[in-house]
Structure 1
Amino acid sequence: MTKVTISRLFDDFADAQSAVRQLREAGIPEDDISVIANNADKWYAPDLASGAGKGAAIGAGLGGFGGLLAGLGLLAIPGLGPVVAAGWFAAAATGAAVAGAAGSAIGMLAEAGVAVNEAEVYAESIRRGGSLVSAKVPAGKKDKFEAILNPSSVDIAIRRNELAAAGWRGFDPKAPDPTADEISRHRGRRGAGPA
Protein backbone atom coordinates (compact mmCIF):
# COMPACT_ATOMS: atom_id res chain seq x y z
CA MET A 1 0.00 0.00 0.00
CA THR A 2 1.39 3.39 -1.01
CA LYS A 3 1.48 6.01 1.73
CA VAL A 4 1.63 9.79 1.47
CA THR A 5 2.54 12.30 4.14
CA ILE A 6 -0.02 14.89 5.22
CA SER A 7 0.90 17.76 7.54
CA ARG A 8 -1.06 20.44 9.32
CA LEU A 9 -0.03 23.38 11.49
CA PHE A 10 -1.81 24.26 14.72
CA ASP A 11 -1.40 27.47 16.70
CA ASP A 12 -2.86 25.83 19.79
CA PHE A 13 -1.12 22.72 21.15
CA ALA A 14 -4.46 21.41 22.42
CA ASP A 15 -5.68 21.34 18.79
CA ALA A 16 -2.58 19.35 17.79
CA GLN A 17 -3.26 16.99 20.69
CA SER A 18 -6.83 16.48 19.48
CA ALA A 19 -5.64 15.87 15.91
CA VAL A 20 -3.24 13.13 17.06
CA ARG A 21 -6.00 11.49 19.09
CA GLN A 22 -8.41 11.59 16.12
CA LEU A 23 -5.83 10.12 13.74
CA ARG A 24 -5.23 7.23 16.16
CA GLU A 25 -8.96 6.66 16.57
CA ALA A 26 -9.28 6.58 12.76
CA GLY A 27 -6.72 3.76 12.59
CA ILE A 28 -3.40 5.47 11.84
CA PRO A 29 -0.64 3.58 13.71
CA GLU A 30 1.57 5.47 16.16
CA ASP A 31 4.61 4.81 13.97
CA ASP A 32 2.98 6.81 11.18
CA ILE A 33 2.23 9.94 13.25
CA SER A 34 4.75 12.61 14.13
CA VAL A 35 4.59 15.83 16.14
CA ILE A 36 6.89 18.81 16.61
CA ALA A 37 5.94 21.68 18.88
CA ASN A 38 7.64 24.74 20.30
CA ASN A 39 7.02 25.68 23.92
CA ALA A 40 4.20 23.16 24.27
CA ASP A 41 5.28 22.70 27.88
CA LYS A 42 3.83 26.13 28.69
CA TRP A 43 0.37 24.68 28.11
CA TYR A 44 0.74 21.54 30.18
CA ALA A 45 3.70 21.71 32.52
CA PRO A 46 4.84 25.30 33.16
CA ASP A 47 6.52 24.47 36.46
CA LEU A 48 8.74 21.58 35.32
CA ALA A 49 12.41 22.40 35.23
CA SER A 50 14.08 19.55 33.32
CA GLY A 51 13.79 18.95 29.59
CA ALA A 52 13.06 15.27 30.15
CA GLY A 53 10.33 16.18 32.59
CA LYS A 54 8.79 18.57 30.10
CA GLY A 55 8.70 15.95 27.37
CA ALA A 56 7.23 13.38 29.73
CA ALA A 57 4.57 15.80 30.96
CA ILE A 58 3.56 16.67 27.41
CA GLY A 59 3.43 12.99 26.55
CA ALA A 60 1.20 12.42 29.58
CA GLY A 61 -0.96 15.37 28.54
CA LEU A 62 -1.44 13.82 25.11
CA GLY A 63 -2.20 10.60 26.89
CA GLY A 64 -2.70 6.97 26.05
CA PHE A 65 -0.87 6.60 22.75
CA GLY A 66 1.93 4.33 23.92
CA GLY A 67 5.35 4.77 22.39
CA LEU A 68 4.73 7.76 20.12
CA LEU A 69 3.83 10.37 22.65
CA ALA A 70 5.71 8.84 25.54
CA GLY A 71 8.76 9.44 23.35
CA LEU A 72 8.36 13.21 23.24
CA GLY A 73 11.66 14.81 24.08
CA LEU A 74 13.01 18.33 24.37
CA LEU A 75 15.55 19.23 21.69
CA ALA A 76 17.29 22.44 20.63
CA ILE A 77 16.96 22.99 16.88
CA PRO A 78 18.91 25.80 15.20
CA GLY A 79 16.42 28.50 14.28
CA LEU A 80 13.53 26.93 16.19
CA GLY A 81 14.87 26.95 19.74
CA PRO A 82 13.67 24.35 22.23
CA VAL A 83 11.07 22.05 20.69
CA VAL A 84 9.44 18.79 21.65
CA ALA A 85 9.24 16.11 19.00
CA ALA A 86 7.86 12.61 18.61
CA GLY A 87 7.85 10.07 15.80
CA TRP A 88 10.06 10.54 12.79
CA PHE A 89 10.30 14.26 13.59
CA ALA A 90 12.24 13.35 16.73
CA ALA A 91 14.84 11.45 14.70
CA ALA A 92 15.04 14.20 12.08
CA ALA A 93 15.23 16.89 14.76
CA THR A 94 18.05 15.07 16.52
CA GLY A 95 19.96 14.97 13.23
CA ALA A 96 19.31 18.68 12.66
CA ALA A 97 20.53 19.50 16.17
CA VAL A 98 23.71 17.47 15.63
CA ALA A 99 24.31 19.13 12.24
CA GLY A 100 23.82 22.57 13.75
CA ALA A 101 23.75 24.09 10.29
CA ALA A 102 21.89 27.30 9.52
CA GLY A 103 18.56 26.50 8.00
CA SER A 104 18.60 22.93 9.27
CA ALA A 105 14.99 23.29 10.43
CA ILE A 106 13.85 23.58 6.81
CA GLY A 107 15.89 20.55 5.76
CA MET A 108 14.67 18.58 8.77
CA LEU A 109 11.03 19.27 7.92
CA ALA A 110 11.55 18.50 4.22
CA GLU A 111 13.35 15.25 5.05
CA ALA A 112 10.47 14.25 7.32
CA GLY A 113 8.04 14.46 4.41
CA VAL A 114 6.84 18.05 4.63
CA ALA A 115 6.46 19.75 1.25
CA VAL A 116 9.50 21.99 0.67
CA ASN A 117 7.35 24.97 -0.36
CA GLU A 118 5.55 24.77 3.00
CA ALA A 119 8.53 23.96 5.23
CA GLU A 120 9.56 27.63 5.62
CA VAL A 121 6.12 28.69 6.83
CA TYR A 122 5.87 25.68 9.12
CA ALA A 123 9.33 26.37 10.57
CA GLU A 124 8.51 30.04 11.21
CA SER A 125 5.20 29.12 12.80
CA ILE A 126 6.83 26.47 15.00
CA ARG A 127 9.46 29.05 16.01
CA ARG A 128 6.59 31.32 17.07
CA GLY A 129 5.02 28.65 19.27
CA GLY A 130 3.06 26.49 16.84
CA SER A 131 2.74 22.73 16.54
CA LEU A 132 3.01 20.57 13.45
CA VAL A 133 1.32 17.18 13.12
CA SER A 134 2.23 14.91 10.21
CA ALA A 135 0.95 11.46 9.37
CA LYS A 136 1.77 8.84 6.79
CA VAL A 137 -1.59 7.72 5.45
CA PRO A 138 -2.81 5.40 2.67
CA ALA A 139 -2.75 7.39 -0.58
CA GLY A 140 -6.30 6.32 -1.45
CA LYS A 141 -7.63 7.64 1.88
CA LYS A 142 -5.68 10.90 1.98
CA ASP A 143 -8.82 13.06 1.76
CA LYS A 144 -10.41 11.25 4.70
CA PHE A 145 -7.44 11.91 6.97
CA GLU A 146 -6.97 15.50 5.78
CA ALA A 147 -10.60 16.11 6.75
CA ILE A 148 -9.71 15.03 10.30
CA LEU A 149 -6.87 17.54 10.49
CA ASN A 150 -8.41 20.49 8.66
CA PRO A 151 -11.08 21.90 11.04
CA SER A 152 -8.71 23.42 13.62
CA SER A 153 -5.56 23.71 11.51
CA VAL A 154 -3.99 26.81 10.04
CA ASP A 155 -4.46 27.50 6.33
CA ILE A 156 -0.80 27.54 5.30
CA ALA A 157 -1.33 29.76 2.22
CA ILE A 158 -3.15 32.37 4.28
CA ARG A 159 -0.44 32.16 6.97
CA ARG A 160 2.30 32.75 4.38
CA ASN A 161 0.45 35.81 3.03
CA GLU A 162 -0.18 37.20 6.50
CA LEU A 163 3.44 36.72 7.55
CA ALA A 164 4.59 38.46 4.36
CA ALA A 165 2.16 41.35 4.95
CA ALA A 166 3.72 41.78 8.41
CA GLY A 167 7.20 42.07 6.85
CA TRP A 168 8.36 38.45 7.00
CA ARG A 169 10.52 37.57 3.98
CA GLY A 170 11.39 33.98 4.77
CA PHE A 171 12.55 31.73 7.57
CA ASP A 172 15.69 33.07 9.21
CA PRO A 173 17.33 30.61 11.61
CA LYS A 174 19.28 33.52 13.13
CA ALA A 175 16.20 35.61 13.92
CA PRO A 176 15.81 36.48 17.59
CA ASP A 177 13.55 34.21 19.58
CA PRO A 178 10.03 35.55 19.93
CA THR A 179 9.09 36.91 23.33
CA ALA A 180 6.67 35.08 25.59
CA ASP A 181 4.07 37.75 24.76
CA GLU A 182 4.56 37.23 21.01
CA ILE A 183 4.21 33.48 21.41
CA SER A 184 1.08 33.94 23.52
CA ARG A 185 -0.49 36.20 20.87
CA HIS A 186 0.48 33.72 18.14
CA ARG A 187 -1.08 30.80 20.00
CA GLY A 188 -4.21 32.78 20.75
CA ARG A 189 -5.01 33.19 17.05
CA ARG A 190 -6.23 29.58 16.69
CA GLY A 191 -5.68 29.56 12.95
CA ALA A 192 -6.17 33.26 12.25
CA GLY A 193 -3.53 35.62 10.96
CA PRO A 194 -0.22 36.43 12.65
CA ALA A 195 0.04 38.81 15.55
Structure 2
Amino acid sequence: MGKIVTRLYDSFERAEDAVLELERAGVAQSDISLVSHHSGISGAPAAVREPQDTTATEASGSGMAVGAALGGLLGAGGGVMAGLGLIAIPGLGPVVAAGWLAAAAVGAVAGGVVGGGTGGIVGALTNSGVSQEEADVYAEGVRRGGTLVGVTVDEDEAASVEAVLDRSRHVELGARREAYRSAGWTHFDDNAPVYSDEEAAAERESWLQRR
Protein backbone atom coordinates (compact mmCIF):
# COMPACT_ATOMS: atom_id res chain seq x y z
CA MET A 1 0.00 0.00 0.00
CA GLY A 2 1.36 3.43 -0.93
CA LYS A 3 1.57 6.65 1.05
CA ILE A 4 2.20 10.32 0.46
CA VAL A 5 5.24 12.19 1.76
CA THR A 6 4.81 15.96 1.86
CA ARG A 7 6.93 18.98 2.76
CA LEU A 8 6.26 22.73 2.75
CA TYR A 9 8.88 25.28 1.68
CA ASP A 10 9.10 29.02 2.19
CA SER A 11 10.52 29.58 -1.28
CA PHE A 12 10.18 28.02 -4.68
CA GLU A 13 13.97 27.73 -4.89
CA ARG A 14 14.14 25.55 -1.79
CA ALA A 15 11.36 23.34 -3.09
CA GLU A 16 13.07 23.11 -6.48
CA ASP A 17 16.27 21.94 -4.80
CA ALA A 18 14.30 19.24 -2.99
CA VAL A 19 12.63 18.05 -6.19
CA LEU A 20 15.96 17.84 -7.97
CA GLU A 21 17.37 15.77 -5.12
CA LEU A 22 14.39 13.45 -5.34
CA GLU A 23 14.99 12.99 -9.05
CA ARG A 24 18.69 12.32 -8.44
CA ALA A 25 17.66 9.70 -5.88
CA GLY A 26 15.67 7.91 -8.58
CA VAL A 27 12.14 8.93 -7.63
CA ALA A 28 9.95 8.75 -10.71
CA GLN A 29 8.85 12.11 -12.09
CA SER A 30 5.25 10.91 -12.19
CA ASP A 31 5.36 10.40 -8.41
CA ILE A 32 6.45 13.97 -7.64
CA SER A 33 4.10 16.94 -7.46
CA LEU A 34 4.65 20.63 -6.75
CA VAL A 35 2.19 23.44 -6.02
CA SER A 36 3.56 26.95 -5.53
CA HIS A 37 2.17 30.46 -5.11
CA HIS A 38 2.95 31.93 -8.52
CA SER A 39 4.51 35.10 -7.11
CA GLY A 40 7.37 33.08 -5.68
CA ILE A 41 8.99 32.39 -9.05
CA SER A 42 11.04 35.43 -9.91
CA GLY A 43 11.85 36.09 -13.52
CA ALA A 44 9.32 33.57 -14.86
CA PRO A 45 11.79 30.81 -15.81
CA ALA A 46 11.46 29.31 -19.25
CA ALA A 47 10.28 26.04 -17.71
CA VAL A 48 6.98 27.66 -16.71
CA ARG A 49 4.41 27.51 -19.48
CA GLU A 50 1.97 30.23 -20.35
CA PRO A 51 -1.15 30.32 -18.13
CA GLN A 52 -3.71 27.70 -19.02
CA ASP A 53 -6.61 29.72 -17.53
CA THR A 54 -8.19 26.43 -16.54
CA THR A 55 -10.54 26.44 -13.57
CA ALA A 56 -12.27 23.50 -11.99
CA THR A 57 -15.64 24.71 -13.24
CA GLU A 58 -14.40 24.96 -16.82
CA ALA A 59 -12.84 21.51 -16.58
CA SER A 60 -16.06 20.02 -15.30
CA GLY A 61 -18.22 21.80 -17.86
CA SER A 62 -16.18 20.61 -20.79
CA GLY A 63 -16.00 17.05 -19.54
CA MET A 64 -12.22 17.00 -19.47
CA ALA A 65 -10.43 14.36 -17.46
CA VAL A 66 -8.41 15.41 -14.44
CA GLY A 67 -5.12 15.22 -16.26
CA ALA A 68 -6.43 17.11 -19.25
CA ALA A 69 -7.74 19.82 -16.94
CA LEU A 70 -4.16 20.85 -16.34
CA GLY A 71 -3.48 21.34 -20.00
CA GLY A 72 -0.86 18.61 -20.05
CA LEU A 73 1.29 19.89 -17.21
CA LEU A 74 3.16 16.64 -16.86
CA GLY A 75 6.18 17.30 -19.04
CA ALA A 76 7.68 14.52 -21.12
CA GLY A 77 11.34 14.64 -20.17
CA GLY A 78 13.35 17.38 -18.56
CA GLY A 79 12.18 16.60 -15.04
CA VAL A 80 9.23 17.81 -13.03
CA MET A 81 10.23 21.46 -13.49
CA ALA A 82 9.77 21.10 -17.24
CA GLY A 83 6.12 20.29 -16.63
CA LEU A 84 5.24 23.42 -14.67
CA GLY A 85 2.18 25.39 -15.69
CA LEU A 86 -0.27 27.90 -14.26
CA ILE A 87 -3.71 26.81 -13.01
CA ALA A 88 -6.36 28.13 -10.63
CA ILE A 89 -7.15 26.30 -7.39
CA PRO A 90 -9.97 27.53 -5.13
CA GLY A 91 -8.68 29.36 -2.06
CA LEU A 92 -5.20 29.71 -3.55
CA GLY A 93 -5.85 31.56 -6.78
CA PRO A 94 -3.37 31.04 -9.62
CA VAL A 95 -0.59 28.62 -8.72
CA VAL A 96 2.39 27.26 -10.56
CA ALA A 97 2.05 23.51 -10.42
CA ALA A 98 2.98 20.16 -11.87
CA GLY A 99 2.03 16.59 -11.14
CA TRP A 100 -0.66 14.46 -9.60
CA LEU A 101 -1.46 16.64 -6.58
CA ALA A 102 -2.45 19.61 -8.70
CA ALA A 103 -4.48 17.35 -10.97
CA ALA A 104 -6.24 15.88 -7.95
CA ALA A 105 -6.96 19.34 -6.53
CA VAL A 106 -8.63 20.44 -9.75
CA GLY A 107 -10.38 17.12 -10.23
CA ALA A 108 -11.64 17.05 -6.66
CA VAL A 109 -13.49 20.30 -7.24
CA ALA A 110 -14.54 19.69 -10.82
CA GLY A 111 -15.79 16.17 -10.34
CA GLY A 112 -16.66 16.10 -6.66
CA VAL A 113 -14.44 13.07 -6.16
CA VAL A 114 -13.46 13.86 -2.59
CA GLY A 115 -15.84 12.84 0.17
CA GLY A 116 -17.25 15.14 2.80
CA GLY A 117 -17.67 18.04 0.45
CA THR A 118 -14.00 18.97 0.70
CA GLY A 119 -12.29 19.91 -2.52
CA GLY A 120 -9.29 21.83 -3.74
CA ILE A 121 -5.84 21.30 -2.32
CA VAL A 122 -7.07 20.25 1.13
CA GLY A 123 -9.40 17.67 -0.34
CA ALA A 124 -6.66 16.30 -2.59
CA LEU A 125 -4.32 15.94 0.39
CA THR A 126 -6.80 14.38 2.81
CA ASN A 127 -8.05 12.00 0.13
CA SER A 128 -4.42 10.86 -0.21
CA GLY A 129 -4.05 10.13 3.49
CA VAL A 130 -2.79 13.43 4.92
CA SER A 131 -4.53 14.48 8.13
CA GLN A 132 -6.99 17.39 7.99
CA GLU A 133 -4.85 19.35 10.43
CA GLU A 134 -1.72 19.01 8.34
CA ALA A 135 -3.55 19.59 5.06
CA ASP A 136 -4.92 22.88 6.38
CA VAL A 137 -1.42 24.10 7.23
CA TYR A 138 -0.01 23.01 3.87
CA ALA A 139 -2.77 24.83 2.01
CA GLU A 140 -2.42 27.94 4.15
CA GLY A 141 1.33 27.88 3.58
CA VAL A 142 0.86 27.91 -0.19
CA ARG A 143 -1.82 30.61 0.08
CA ARG A 144 0.69 32.79 1.94
CA GLY A 145 3.40 32.39 -0.65
CA GLY A 146 4.96 28.99 -0.03
CA THR A 147 5.51 25.87 -2.09
CA LEU A 148 4.27 22.35 -1.39
CA VAL A 149 6.04 19.22 -2.60
CA GLY A 150 4.28 15.86 -2.45
CA VAL A 151 5.59 12.41 -3.35
CA THR A 152 3.65 9.18 -3.69
CA VAL A 153 5.73 6.20 -2.60
CA ASP A 154 5.40 2.55 -1.71
CA GLU A 155 5.56 1.90 2.02
CA ASP A 156 8.99 0.26 1.75
CA GLU A 157 10.41 3.33 -0.02
CA ALA A 158 8.90 5.97 2.24
CA ALA A 159 11.82 6.13 4.67
CA SER A 160 14.36 6.83 1.93
CA VAL A 161 12.18 9.55 0.37
CA GLU A 162 11.61 11.15 3.77
CA ALA A 163 15.37 11.12 4.36
CA VAL A 164 15.95 13.02 1.11
CA LEU A 165 13.33 15.62 2.00
CA ASP A 166 14.51 15.90 5.60
CA ARG A 167 17.88 17.07 4.30
CA SER A 168 16.17 19.91 2.47
CA ARG A 169 15.34 23.30 3.99
CA HIS A 170 11.68 22.58 4.62
CA VAL A 171 9.21 24.15 7.05
CA GLU A 172 8.75 22.51 10.45
CA LEU A 173 5.02 22.00 10.16
CA GLY A 174 4.11 21.89 13.85
CA ALA A 175 5.93 25.13 14.60
CA ARG A 176 4.34 26.84 11.60
CA ARG A 177 0.89 25.69 12.65
CA GLU A 178 1.39 27.16 16.12
CA ALA A 179 2.69 30.42 14.64
CA TYR A 180 -0.42 30.72 12.49
CA ARG A 181 -2.68 29.93 15.42
CA SER A 182 -1.00 32.44 17.70
CA ALA A 183 -1.99 35.10 15.17
CA GLY A 184 -5.64 34.01 15.26
CA TRP A 185 -5.71 31.51 12.38
CA THR A 186 -7.74 28.33 12.97
CA HIS A 187 -7.98 26.46 9.66
CA PHE A 188 -7.66 26.89 5.92
CA ASP A 189 -10.65 28.68 4.45
CA ASP A 190 -10.95 28.52 0.67
CA ASN A 191 -13.36 31.45 0.82
CA ALA A 192 -10.80 33.72 2.47
CA PRO A 193 -9.28 36.47 0.29
CA VAL A 194 -6.43 35.26 -1.90
CA TYR A 195 -3.07 36.76 -0.95
CA SER A 196 -1.87 39.38 -3.41
CA ASP A 197 1.59 39.06 -4.89
CA GLU A 198 2.81 41.79 -2.55
CA GLU A 199 1.27 40.17 0.54
CA ALA A 200 2.66 36.75 -0.39
CA ALA A 201 6.11 38.18 -1.04
CA ALA A 202 6.14 39.96 2.32
CA GLU A 203 4.99 36.84 4.17
CA ARG A 204 7.52 34.68 2.38
CA GLU A 205 10.37 37.07 3.11
CA SER A 206 9.45 37.31 6.78
CA TRP A 207 9.86 33.55 7.16
CA LEU A 208 13.00 33.33 5.05
CA GLN A 209 14.70 35.92 7.25
CA ARG A 210 14.09 33.71 10.30
CA ARG A 211 15.77 30.62 8.86
| TM-score, structure 2 as length reference | 0.74
Name the residue aligned to 1:71.
Answer: 83
* Structure 1 residue identity aligned to 2:208: R
Q: 2:208 aligns with which of 171, 182, 190?
A: 190
AA aligned opposite 2:126: A
Alpha-carbon contact 2:32-2:99 (below 8 Å) kept: yes
Q: Secondary structure at the match of 1:51?
A: coil
Contact 2:39–2:200 (8 Å) recurs in 1: no
Write the letter of the residue equivalent to 1:174.
N
Aligned residue pairs total 186
Alpha-carbon distance, 1:26 to partner: 0.6
**Alignment map for 1:156-195 (pairs within 5 Å):** 156-188=173-205, 189-190=207-208, 192=210
**After the TM superposition, which segments of 4 or more aligned residues of structure 1 sit over 4 Å from their partners?**
99-103
Residue equivalent to 2:7: 8
Q: Which residue of 2 aligns with 1:31?
A: 30
Distance 1:105 1:135, change over 3 A: closer
Q: Is the 8 A contact 2:33 2:98 kept in 1?
A: yes
Q: Distance in 2 between matches of 1:192 and 1:157?
A: 16
Question: Against the structure 1 CA distance between its residues 152 and 59, is the aligned structure 2 distance closer, same or farther, given a 3 Å change threshold?
Answer: farther
Structure 1 residue 166: Cα displacement: 0.8
Q: Equivalences for 1:112-151 in 2 at 5 Å?
A: 112-150=128-166, 151=168
Cα distance, 1:122–1:160 mapped onto 2, change above 3 Å: same
**CA distances 1:45-104 after superposition (whole Å, capped 9, x unpaired):** 18x994149x9xx999xx931xx4333221111111111221111321221452597753
Indicate the SS of the match to 2:187: coil
Identical amino acids, percent of aligned pairs = 41
Residues in 2 aligned to 1:33 and 1:64: alpha-carbon distance in whole angstroms: 13
Change (3 A) 1:99 1:77: farther
Q: Find the aligned partners of 1:118 and 1:191 in 2 and give their Cα distance.
A: 24
CA deviation profile, 1:14-71 (whole Å, cap 9, x unmatched): 011011000010111111111111115642418x994149x9xx999xx931xx4333
Write the deviation string for residues 124-148 of structure 1: whole angstroms up to 9, x where unpaired: 1111111111112342342332122
Q: What CA RMSD, in Å, does the superposition of the two structures yield over aligned residues?
A: 3.3
Q: Normalization by structure 1: what TM-score?
A: 0.79
Matching residue within 79, 83, 92 for 1:80: 92
Does the C-alpha gap of structure 1 residues 103 and 94 become closer, same or farther in structure 2, counting only changes over 3 Å?
A: closer
Structure 2 unaligned blocks of 5 or more: 54-69
Query: 1:35, 1:86 within 8 Å by CA — same for their partners in 2?
Result: yes
Equivalent residues of 2:9, 2:169 under 8 A apart:
yes
- Taking a change above 3 Å as real, the CA distance of residues 14 and 128 of structure 1, as seen in their structure-2 partners, is same
